[in-house]
Amino acid sequence: MRLYAQIDAVLVPWAKSHGLFVATQFKDEEVRSIQIVDDAGDSYGLWVDVPHEDGSVSVSVAEHGAPSRKIRRQTFTTKVAELNQTLESAYAVAESWMRERGHTRTPVI
């Protein structure tokens, strides 16, 4: 948890404001990943890597899709101080991919 302490201070409130859940474990590894689902059931992954030695942070977003479809991915590099804005940019990419398919974000209940 200490590896992600600075990130969590930004990521958790950001995710909550968008009605998203932050997964913190995958196959016994500590991670910070979010699944975004659209109204057609298509999903998009957003994740934040452990901060690099220089203090930079990588934020990635990718489509999850059928094996017959090429999957797109985009990675942003930022500092923790600018993480909120970078998360918004990555989320906007996922939303643009949804719109290309004529989909929207699944409503948050």
Concatenate the DSSP letters of all residues of 24-89 into one string: EEETTEEEEEEEEEBTTS-EEEEEEPPPPTTSEEEEEEEEE--TTSPPPEEEEEEEGGGHHHHHHH
All residue ranges of the chain with pLDDT < 50 are none
- State the Cα angle at 35 between 33 and 37, rounded to 5°: 170
Strand, helix or coil at 23? strand
14 closest CA partner among 55, 57, 73:
57
| pLDDT for the residue numbered 67 | 60
**Structural domains of the chain, ranges and CATH numbers in brackets:** 2-100 (3.30.380)
| pLDDT for the residue numbered 55 | 86
